[in-house]
Chain A
Amino acid sequence: MEKYCSIFLDETRCTGCTNCIKRCPTEAIRVREGKAKIFPELCINCSECVRICPNRAPVPQADSKEILSNYRYKIALPDPAIFAQFKTKYTPHQILAAIAAVGFDGVYEVARAADEVSVAIREFIADHKEEGPWISSSCPAVVHLIQLRFPTLTEQILPILSPVEIAARRAKEEAALQANIPRQEIGCFYLTPCPAQVAAIRSPYFLEKSNVDGALAISSLYSELRVKLAKLEKQEESPVKATSLGLAWGRIGGQTKAVQADNFLTLDGVFNLLELLEEIELDRFNNNVDFLECQNCQGGCVGGIFTAENPFVARVTLRRMTNKLPAKFEPGHEERIRQYYREGFYNAEKKVEPYCIMSLDQDISKAIYMVEQSEKILKHLPGLDCGACGSPTCRTLAEDIVRGLASETDCMFILREKVQSLAEQMLSLALKVPPVTVVQRQIMKTQQEVLELAKRIPPPLARREPKKED
């Protein structure tokens, strides 16, 4: 399966400043020829580079609205995070009406599917308590991070489809039945808070093919939605069918609340994730936790890069909004969901496999040799992790060198040392005057000065031992 990277780098904006390479949690970016390059196979679409770049060079990708014209009947699947984008000025019912008015024939709330998925997760954990802790799988960046960096934890990923996939299935069922339209003419479009979801739709990790036909960035519809909301008649609203628990999936902790897990841990932010997953992989994490709600973005989905509202404000808004919705299902609904769960309706169709692309070479002996070489190279590098070579750390530069992607002189300190020794050699040659010539004192003095300059070491390296071969 081709891994899709939904962050595109706009070279016209990139100044090669190296901010992004040092921020990337998977070390997926290098600067080459003055421009950042993203290695798509290492990118988990976490959006950290988008957040840190002062020039807005990494551009998160989503579908454009034109994709809607490919389908006769268009259904919007709004993420719960969308309800947190307009402060509490509008009710969720009004927001739903505005979404429909933007150009959709129908709206199916992802929160409604989240209600179903919550029950499914609860049942699954009850059935498989011993094999826990189970890691939530609805955040694609988390799943990709585990595939890439924590291959032994792929088996801990909850094999339950994400709410948006269930929403698309349900929406198509409903529309086919009610509006009597052939399935292939129905298009379901996720109004997504982040580019990681775009990637998960184009190359799904639980399915062969996604049920979702496209993903539009919430931010791309934001202005239009605001205009529609302002023009909306007071009474005009479309009833929200999700419960408050489904809507709470938009923020960190919401999923846990909806799943009603007894022993849980919630965690947001990709760097926090890196630390905790490291602990779990070392079996250091023996706290009897059954459910780990992991979100790549701080604050959960309301912190996604495609949202407009400040994530902290959005969390408050969402909490206030959920308080106004019922927290319980209609009678009998939960039993129906359990029945679907037992029939396997929510089950992942394929296993999440680890990506084995961290290794330096396919051949293990060769890889060992390469690691040994890179350790040797590392000893010569200054250890400043300055990024001026275009690799995020000295260690990654050493690995890039043995992979053949960089050379030792990419390090400006190594380069300087080489220039210095060359200058010394040249000068010592230049000072050798044929016996028959009269030495010109002035020239001698200048040469000495140049030699002194070449010997000066930049301050960060001042205490560095001169390089010695083993």
Chain B
Amino acid sequence: MTVKEEQTIIDVALENLTSEVERVHADGYRLVQIGCTDIDGSYEVNYSFDKGYQFKNLRLTIGPETEVPSISGIYWGAFVYENEMHDLFGIPVTGINIDFKGTFIKTAEKYPFSVTRAGGDRCRNV
């Protein structure tokens, strides 16, 4: 299988997130997605970008209560993923351009994918 795409993952610190995203934006990348993974009680957040099938990821590792600055001022469409981060994982994201304040995704249980959630239905690897 010959897939013509490169994938890179770059770790970023919380304080450098917006400046790194601004740099990626200035380089002409589009935002593909923002996704969270729980890692032993903390979160790994992947900000994925693409330009001409070059796939670049900025990876942020944060604790469960850490506030994350929104990148919706740089990528307007990021509000979808940032509201999802909040509504499913309970990660507080500050300064979202369209902040649904927990009502974007309506779930029976609050923050169903949160690493701090208790109960037998919890993630297997936590």
- Do A and B truly interact? no
Interface residues of B (CB under 8 A from A): none
Interface residues of A (CB under 8 A from B): none
